[in-house]
Every structure is written in structure tokens, then in C-alpha cells.
Amino acid sequence: MALALWSLLGATTGAAWMRPPIEGGLSHPVSALCLLLLGASVLVPAGLRRGVPVLAGGVLLMVAAGVAPRLTALAQASPGGLSAPGGIDLGTAVMIASLAVARICAAAEMILAAQWLVFLGIWTAILSLIGLVFDAPLPQGVMAPMTAVVGLLLATAFLARAPHRGILRAVLGAYPAGQQARWQMTLGVVGPVAIGGLFLERITSHEARGDVALVVVLIVAFYLLISALNALAFERSDRARRRLERERRYLAERDGLTGLFNRVKFEQRFAAASDLRGGRGVPFCFVLVDLDHFKQINDFAGHEFGDQVLRQVAQTLQAGVRPEDTLARLGGEEFAILLPGRSLAEGLDVAEALRARVAAQRFSRRGATSAQARGAGGARGLLSGQVAVTASLGVAEWSPGETMLELYSRADEALYAAKGHGRDRVVAAPPAGQAGAGQTGAGQAGASFARGAAEAGGRGALEPVGGASAGPERLVPGGVAPGGAGEAG
């Protein structure tokens, strides 16, 4: 913008000290004003971005008015620069128009089209500069050096606004497509320009020099175009390949229903946590979660509703753990959680908070079929309304040298102890090598104890659902009953 403003002031004031040392180097006033407006479009605040197409449209009208005399007279620009009649030359008009249309495309999120138009403007400016350097006349006319330089700077600014999209993503990326394209483009520019320069040094005819310069620029432009198209196609196919690889990795380590980690990924995380524990002495806990009476949900409310419950419970559990924790679905209604850096007491606190989250959640369901109702023994409560689902949890702290299977077995024993003492509770497994998991009541860290609904007046206790109280029913074997313990499940 500063150079465009300098050129505009020099053209309008006629100050000799503002003119470049190169003859004809100062931009035409119309060209300078157009470039100044395009530069201003880059600095437009976010709230006024809708005005960018209007600004670019005004630039296009000015370019059309400026180049009209040249097109009408079919005349070349005179060497007098500003004193030459006929407005701006054709090359300048093409460069400014391509940049203006590029701004309109960018505002419409047509990034690829905008980048191609910017490259057209760059090619036009470079073509004029090469003609100036080698003193070779070009058919599109003589572009003022100041105009060409400002145009190149504006084009660079336009491209820098979306460096990770379109052609630039393909050419500048760290993937093989970008690396190959950069080498090809470098050789495609250096080679023809060097060879063309040697030929131009031996040619004395002014017209012949212009022809050679034009051929060199066309060869370079064609090579750059082919390299860019090749990089773009290669990058798109490579991006599709990378996306498929990510999807395969995701499916290989994720549960298809809930999106949580699966057993394979959980075992990998366990191996990493156990290695960390062995090297740094960092404790970690293993929590096993099993939904109570989940078979009744599938049998009497349908598997579709059962899947809905599993997904919502997975989201609830995920919201209750840290990003560094590992939550996985091992199968059916069973979930497992790895809590790195947590002692047994801390793991029990986390498990109790998760139990309370699950118990507080309500699941809306659609009505079941009459056949399902008869299978449920006429339990009408299962046909409409909401369902409260509870979970039993077993917690075990890993001991050095303990395998995944051994840790799982201890947590599983604690889990079944929780179910045997009424469900909807947390039970801690004793340390490795000790027996007797599943005793209820408070206890010391490392001893077996239970938390949950069975603790009278204790933290996280839930009131029975059903009976005279208004609220959702809790699913138990044989239909709907107010609270109470039932069979394991």
C-alpha cells in the first residue's frame, strides 16, 4: 500500500524526487489507485468483509475505463510513461483485473479459483519485469516497474491469507507431493531463464529479443502450471489415502457403537501406564463399570433403546474423567477406566462420582410392542416414560508386576461384590495377594469397602424410585419395582 500511495502521489503531484530512477517506472494514476484500493481490501476489518466484493468491483470498473482507449486504438504504450496517451497498458489491466476478481472469489470462499487468478497476476507482472530486464518488447505493452513490484507484493499478501488451502497446501505441504512440486518448480524456473538469458545475450535484434523473452516466460509458466496441477492432484489423492488410514486406525482402536476406546487400545494404554509406574513410581487405578440389569432393557425396551443407553452412559462417563484418563468399552454393558497418577483412595472418589452421574441420568424411550409387554409380564411402566439406570463399579490399584488379566480379575471380583450387596455402589478390591473383596461399609485405603446407595445417609445415596414417589422407574428383574436388590446383572 505504501508503494502504491507513493506512486499515486508522484503521478498526481508531478514531483521529480518521487519518480523512480528507471524511465517510465512510475505507475499510471489509475493503476496506482486500483492497487491502493486492492491493498486496502486486505486490511478491511472482519465486520466489513462484505464490502470487499464491492471494492473489488469498483476496481474492475476503473480498469475497464483505463484500458478502453488502448483497446479502441489498438496502440502500444509510448515510452513517455505518464505522458503516453491511451490509459493503462493491457498487461497492467490483466494483472489488476485478475487480482480484483481473486478478491471476489476469496470473499465467496472459492479459494482455489482465487489462487489461480493470483498466479495469473503474478505471471503477468513477472513477464513485464523480464521484458524490462532484457530490454525485450512484449506484445501486451510495457508495465511500469513500480506497478509490477506493487502487484507482486499484493499477490503475495493475497496468497498468505490462505496458505493451508488449495494450491499452496499442495505445493508448500510437508508431504511428498509438496516436496516434489517445489523441486520441479525451482528447476522449471531456473533452467529456462538461464538458457534464455544466454540466448538473449547473443541476439542483437530488438524484435527477436522480445520473441525469445516471451517464449522463455511461456515455457516457465507452462512448467509451473503443470507442476502445480500435478502437485494438486497428487496431494488430493494422498489426502484421501491419509484420511482412510486415519479412519482405519480409528476403527482399529475405537468401539463402533460408543466411539470409546476398545479392548485392544485399552491394553496398549495399560502397558504404557505400567511401564511408567515401573520407571517413576506413579500409581494408577483400574475401574470396572457394569450397568445394572441391562439385559432387562434389551429384552423389554428393545435393543435400539439399549444402544441409546450405552451411548449416553459412555458420554456421561467421558465427561467425568480427565483427558489423560483412558475410558474404554470392553463389550456389552461393561466399561473400563484407567486412572494414571491416582491412588486407590482417589480412584474410589472418581468411581463414586461416576456412579452418581450415571444414577442421576434419565433415559427417554419410545413405547415397546405388545409382545414385549407380554414378555415382561405386563409391566406397563416399561412401555413409556423415562428409565433410570444404575451402575456397579469395582476399583483396583495396580501392583508392580501385575498383568492386565490379574488386575482385571481383582476389579471384576470387586464388581461382583458390589452387585451382590445391592448394586448401584462402588467396591474396592484388596491389594494383590489378598482375598475377600466385596465387604460393604467404610474401610481403610487398600481394604475392601463399598460406597453408594447402601450407605445410609452416606455420600451419593439414592432414594428408591417407584412406589408412591413420582419419578422414573428403575428396571429390575421381573418388571418394575421400587428400588431394592435383585439378581446379579
Cell numbers of 415, please?
464388581
CA distance 7 to 30: 10
The vertex-324 CA angle with 410 and 393, nearest 5°, equals: 30
CA neighbor of 188 nearest in space, from 235, 140, 228? 228
CA distance 95 to 60: 11
CA distance 114 to 119: 9
- Strand pairing class (284-291; 391-397): antiparallel
The confidence score (pLDDT) of residue 182 equals 82
CA distance 281 to 221: 63
Cell numbers of 363, please?
433415559
Q: Can you list the alpha helix ranges (DSSP code H) found in 43-137?
A: 52-73, 90-107, 111-133
333 is catalytic: yes
Q: Which residues contact 442 (CB under 8 A, 6 or more apart)?
A: 449, 455
Three-state secondary structure call for residue 138: coil
Residues 378-422 have pLDDT tens digits of: 333 444 567 889 999 999 999 888 889 999 999 999 999 999 999
Three-state secondary structure call for residue 438: coil
**CA–centroid distance for 82 within its chain:** 51
Are 486 and 477 a contacting pair, CB within 8 Å? yes
Distances (CA, A) of 325 to 53, 321, 446: 49, 6, 21
The DSSP annotation for 17-47 comes to GGS-SSTT-SPPHHHHHHHHHHHHHHT--GG
Q: Which of 109, 245, 304, 333 is catalytic?
A: 333
Signed CA dihedral, 8, 9, 14, 16: sign only: negative
Residues 239-259 have pLDDT tens digits of: 888 889 888 888 888 998 999
The confidence score (pLDDT) of residue 299 equals 85
The confidence score (pLDDT) of residue 250 equals 84
The confidence score (pLDDT) of residue 72 equals 62
Angle, nearest 10°, between helix axes 263-280 and 404-420? 110
Residue ranges, comma separated, of all CATH 3.30.70.270 domains in the chain are 263-480
CA neighbor of 287 nearest in space, from 150, 394, 213? 394
Q: Which residues contact 138 (CB under 8 A, 6 or more apart)?
A: 91, 127, 128, 131, 210, 213, 214
Angle, nearest 10°, between helix axes 29-42 and 2-13? 150
How many other β-carbons are positioned within 10 Å of the β-carbon of residue 364? 12
Query: Which segments of the chain have a pLDDT < 70?
Result: 1-27, 46-49, 69-87, 133-142, 206, 277-281, 365-385, 434-489
The vertex-143 CA angle with 137 and 148, nearest 5°, equals: 125
CA distance 236 to 230: 10
The confidence score (pLDDT) of residue 485 equals 38
Q: How many CA atoms lie within 13 A of 405 on its CB side?
A: 0
Q: Enumerate the β-bridge partners of residue 476.
A: 479
Domain 263-480 is in which class?
A: alpha beta
Share in percent of the chain as helix, strand, coil (round to 5): 60, 10, 30
CA neighbor of 415 nearest in space, from 476, 333, 342? 333
Q: Output phi, psi for 348, to 5 deg.
A: -65, -40
The confidence score (pLDDT) of residue 126 equals 80
